[in-house]
């Protein structure tokens, strides 16, 4: 596991950042997408996972200070998010060339999964 290239893992975070931000509805968010664990609106919000993930991995966070294990864990959460957004016609991902499937294959290759 220690043979993983940290810079490659950091680079792989760029795609899910973009996708998660595109999926979020921030117009009515009182915190502009910054998750507040003490606010009942955040606790009950359907975008809680996305806000939490973004608050740990957006461009303003020094992800280069994270350990390889932390980066790997954050990528696995992002894989779940991207995977859940796929439609049923993505069942044969080996042949699919959409951005989502290409990114998923890159992560699988990087993490050897």
pLDDT in tens, 26-66: 888 888 888 888 999 888 888 888 888 988 888 888 888 99
Residues of the chain with pLDDT > 70, as a percent, come to 92
**23-57: buried (b, 16+ CB within 10 Å) or exposed (e) per residue?**
eeeeeebeeebebeeeeeebeebebeebbebbbeb
pLDDT grade, residue 1 (50/70/90)?
very low
Prediction pTM value: 0.83
Q: How far apart are CA 88 and CA 71, in angstroms?
A: 28
Query: Measured between alpha carbons, how far is 72 from 17 in angstroms, rounded to an integer?
Result: 15
């Amino acid at each position: 596991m220690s043979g993983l290239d940290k810079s490659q893992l950091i680079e792989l975070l760029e795609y899910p950042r973009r996708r998660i931000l595109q999926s979020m509805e921030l117009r009515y968010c009182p915190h502009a997408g910054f998750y507040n664990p003490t606010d009942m609106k955040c606790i009950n919000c359907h975008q809680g996972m996305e806000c939490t993930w973004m608050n740990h991995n957006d461009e303003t966070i020094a992800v280069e200070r994270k350990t390889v294990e932390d980066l790997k864990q954050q990528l696995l959460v992002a894989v779940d998010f991207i995977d859940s957004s796929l439609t049923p016609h993505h069942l044969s991902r080996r042949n699919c060339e959409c951005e989502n499937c290409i990114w998923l294959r890159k992560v699988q290759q990087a993490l050897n999964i």
